[in-house]
Amino acid sequence: MNIVACIKETPSTTAEKSFGPDMRLERRKEDAIPNPFDEYTIEEALRQQEKHAGSTVTILCMGPATATDTLRKALAMGGDRAVLVSDSALAGSDAIGTARVLAAALQKIGFDLALFGSAAADAYGGVVPSATAEFLGLPLLSYASKLDLSGDSTARIQRAAEIGYNEAEAPLPALVSVVKSINEPRYPSMKGIMASKKKPLDTFSLADLGLDPSSVGGAAARERAISSEKVSTQRKGEMYQGNEGAADRVVAFLIEQKVL
Amino acid sequence: MATSAKVEMGAAYLTTPVTEEHFLTPEKFDEEQRQIQEAAATFIQREVLPKTERIRHQEEGLVPSLLKLAGEQGLLMIDVPEEYGGADLGLVVSGLVAHEMRESSFAVAHGAHTTIGTLPIVYYGTDRQKRAYLPKLATGEYIGAYALTEPGVGSDAMSIRTRATLSADGTHYILNGAKQWITNSGFADLFVVFAKVDDTKHTAFIVEGAWPGISTGAEEKKMGIKGSSTRTLYLDNVKVPVENVLGEIGKGYKIAFNILNIGRLKLGAGTAGGARSALDMAAKYADERKAFGRPLHGFGMIKKKLAHMASDVYAAESLVFRTIGAVEDARVAAGEDRQAQLRAIEEYAIECSIAKVFGSEALAHCVDEGVQIFGGYGFMDEYPISWAYRDARINRIFEGTNEVNRLVAAGTLFQRAMEGRVGLMPAVPEIQAQVASGTAPDFAAADTPAALRESVNLVERAKRAAIYSVMKGAAKFMATMREEQEFLEATANQLITIFAMDSAVARALDAVRSGSTDAHAHELLAQLTVLRLLPEMRAAMEAAITMSTTGDERRAELAKVRGYLGDPELDIVPVQRELAGIVAERGGYPLR
């Protein structure tokens, strides 16, 4: 079985963020890491590979040419090879443009199961998996908290619902997006890091994928960021001190909040 | 000595201007090295630290299982050649991994296995011995140990009494004796054992733990590193095949001494990491704990402690990784021959000893102040800082006591100076002229950042004042030098403080030149290193002069060197307050 884990390069969650005049996030190479949500994507791909002997795992990423470092980091967790789609015409792509590229790359690579994270830690759009499925005309099982492949023909997932969970299934090839509760990602070991250096890493350009540069990138993007604002972390607190009715005020507050 | 431009001579820091030094700093680790460092840190965080309590109680099988897990992840194969199942990643990576160990008992077990348990075979083993043992040591299938110390025989390693007698048929040596305080002995599968053949020939043997006649005593009850296994190893008519003689008969002491250089260096990396860990704990507590309505780090005396701890870590890291970089360059330049590699490493014997002494003493200071910042809680068993305090103490004792290492550093310097291997003599006339006139040129190059100009000048004057005082004593004591331990100590203390100041200032210059976003933190750390260590250097220099002169000459010489060295103009209080502010803001050691 061919399993492809689709990942994104994002800035480290602790890195200082800034935006350019066009409201695009300024990305610094030294802050780049694999999207933290995608650690679950890769882990799930590796677990499915362990369950299905003879499977291969390819890690696929669209990003700048320097994202090869991020892909090596991802390969340090495991997987057989990586593919980077990189082209100067891709800068400024929106979610639909990204999905168009990933769909073309997935078609070129060939797959039975394509895994996605449920969102990326930078943009939080969360539409790339469904848009990619749409371009490919294939089923998407979204927000999976459990994934079982029966034989080599069907994928079955559980999706957490308000009460209990839903189950859904689809014939392979299919796309599956996963949530954090699906697994506990492994951390890269020293051996994994060493092995990652020797794994094949291919780079595809738009020409390799047969895509017209005008259909992707900033030119084709129909989605634009308008403004950004820092989240204020100032919290409102009230302090009750001493013996002057502090306990009564706490109880009153808890009743007001419907805790008691 | 190799001719690569990168390879500098041992002790060259004494005569090379600080502004012209370029060496490995933690800022220059490459991507792969950083990733492996992170992998080691994550391993410790996820697999070891949660089990600290169980490790301390020596839960049966726990440390060996953690070592085997480390082996599965590759953390035991770093120094082992690829053809014997290793990764052969070199000393920078193994130093970085040692730096991240944090849990002291596990660190000692890991260090004993990977350094003194494995390296003797890497450097001295025959191909057959390497094939038989290295792949197993690299994975952790075998746990290694090193058995040199005996009851009553420690630093005087030549006086061991364990005997090795050749069997009548010439196929075996029969080993008899007792080895004391052997790390990992409770579960080791392989021991490098030192014994004397025919009562005189100091020789190393590879001994398997399962062989008949091997037994161990009870676990020692120690002050710290309680989780590491420390027992007496008894050898009762143990038959060791002659093929398991390691190196040459009668040359076992070479193995013992040469491997120690690497051991000391890695211990320097480990203790620097331990010091950083103590600072991180103390900084976190100083933020959480409030007294008189403000966090502890709002008080001047606590600020001073945090800043001093940060400068300890900075100086230790700087000199340790500088030495590791130089040693690794020299080792690689020496080619494939392992003996040539060891000779290249030996070139840095002074720096290796300093790394051990400075690292362990920086750690001692940091855990002591760490406990102090925690106050009464720091004295309580459930607070990790109290364990760090106990665990730290052994580091000034093992791998050569700090006294022995001071003798090595100073003794090696004088020996090299006599052999003309250190460029001290040619520098003397100019230094004498400068000291006599009491004026020094401005040593800061035009492009030296303003914040570091004074530090550069103090370090350069300290180097010259040290050479002056040391040469003064050398003239008087040369014939009896071995017996002049107090003078050797005063010499070593100058070598140590100068290497620390020099390494810190050169690293900060590098950070500023390369436009680091942390450049200002580097400047403060280097400034504080100089302001703190200069008085120590001065005391050692004055001690050396005092020992080698009397009466009017003493008064005149002391006045000359004091005048030449001068005093800093920079005020220490604002430096330490600002630095402590950065430590508090970042929640620990400011550089990552």
ipTM: 0.84
Residues B441 and B454 reside in one and the same domain:
yes
Question: Residue B72 and residue A194: Cβ atoms within 8 Å?
Answer: no
Instruction: Give residue for tokens 């008519």.
Output: B237
The answer, for A185 touching chain B at a CB cutoff of 8 Å, is no
Residues B161 and B291 reside in one and the same domain:
no
Residues B580 and B471 reside in one and the same domain:
yes
Segments forming the whole domain that contains residue A192: 2-220
Q: What CATH number has the domain bearing residue B218?
A: 2.40.110.10
Give me the residues of A, 59-88, that contact B with CB < 8 A: 69, 73, 76
Residue A230 lies in a domain: no
Residues of B in contact with A32 (CB under 8 A): none
What residue of B is the nearest CA neighbor of A188?
Answer: B39
Residue B108 lies in a domain: yes
Residue B138 lies in a domain: yes
Residues B83 and B211 reside in one and the same domain:
no
Q: What CATH number has the domain bearing residue A195?
A: 3.40.50.620
Residue B24 lies in a domain: yes
The answer, for B46 touching chain A at a CB cutoff of 8 Å, is yes
Three-class HEC string of chain A: CEEEEEECEEECCCCCCCECCCCCECCCHHHEEECCCHHHHHHHHHHHHHHCCCCEEEEEEECCHHHHHHHHHHHHHCCCEEEEECCHHHCCCCHHHHHHHHHHHHHHHCCCEEEEECCCCCCCCCCHHHHHHHHHCCCEEEEECEEEEECCCEEEEEEECCCCEEEEEEECCEEEEECHHHCCCCCCCHHHHHHHCCCCEEEECHHHHCCCHHHCHHHHCCCCCCCCCCCCCCCCCCCCCCCCCHHHHHHHHHHHCCCC
Rounded to two decimals, what is the model's pTM?
Answer: 0.90
Which residues of B are the active-site residues? Answer: 399
CA distance A210 to chain B (A): 34
Residues B458 and B575 reside in one and the same domain:
yes
Residues B235 and B276 reside in one and the same domain:
no
Residues of B in contact with A193 (CB under 8 A): 32, 35-36, 39
Residues B333 and B396 reside in one and the same domain:
yes
Residues B456 and B577 reside in one and the same domain:
yes
- Domain end (from B110, B143, B176): B143
Q: What CATH number has the domain bearing residue B491?
A: 1.20.140.10
Residues B327 and B384 reside in one and the same domain:
yes
Segments forming the whole domain that contains residue B579: 403-586
What's the total number of domains in chain B? Answer: 4
Question: Residue A191 and residue B32: Cβ atoms within 8 Å?
Answer: no
Burial of B31 from C-beta contacts in 10 A (0-12 / 13-18 / 19+)? exposed
What residue of B is the nearest CA neighbor of A30?
Answer: B31
Question: Residue B43 and residue A194: Cβ atoms within 8 Å?
Answer: no
Residue A182 lies in a domain: yes
Measure the CA–CA gap between B95 and B115, rounded to whole angstroms: 11
Q: Mutate which of B29, B48, B73, B114 to disrupt the A interface (most A C-beta within 10 Å)?
A: B73
Q: Do residues A28 and A11 lie in contact, with contact meaning Cβ atoms separated by under 8 Å?
A: yes
Q: What CATH number has the domain bearing residue B131?
A: 1.10.540.10
- Domain end (from B221, B248, B275): B248
Residue B2 lies in a domain: no
Measure the CA–CA gap between B411 and B470, rounded to whole angstroms: 12
CA distance A67 to chain B (A): 13
Residue A236 lies in a domain: no
Residues of A in contact with B89 (CB under 8 A): 194
Given a cut of 60, whether residue B262 has pLDDT beyond it is: yes
Q: Predicted confidence band at B8 (pLDDT cuts at 50, 70, 90)? A: low
Residue A237 lies in a domain: no
Q: Which pLDDT tens digits describe chain A residue by residue (260 residues)?
A: 999 999 999 888 777 777 777 777 777 777 888 888 999 999 999 999 999 999 999 999 999 999 999 999 999 999 999 999 999 999 888 999 999 999 999 999 999 999 999 888 877 788 999 999 999 999 999 999 999 998 779 999 999 988 899 999 999 999 999 999 999 999 999 999 999 999 999 999 999 999 999 999 888 888 888 887 777 766 677 777 767 778 888 888 888 888 88
Residues of A in contact with B87 (CB under 8 A): 190-191, 194
What's the total number of domains in chain A? Answer: 1
Residues B66 and B98 reside in one and the same domain:
yes
What residue of A is the nearest CA neighbor of B75?
Answer: A190
- Domain end (from B365, B400, B435): B400
CA distance B39 to chain A (A): 5
Which amino acid is present at A135? F
Residue A17 lies in a domain: yes
Residues B472 and B511 reside in one and the same domain:
yes
Residue A260 lies in a domain: no
What residue of B is the nearest CA neighbor of A33?
Answer: B35
Q: Do residues A61 and A6 lie in contact, with contact meaning Cβ atoms separated by under 8 Å?
A: yes
Residue A99 lies in a domain: yes
Residues B380 and B407 reside in one and the same domain:
no
Residue A155 lies in a domain: yes
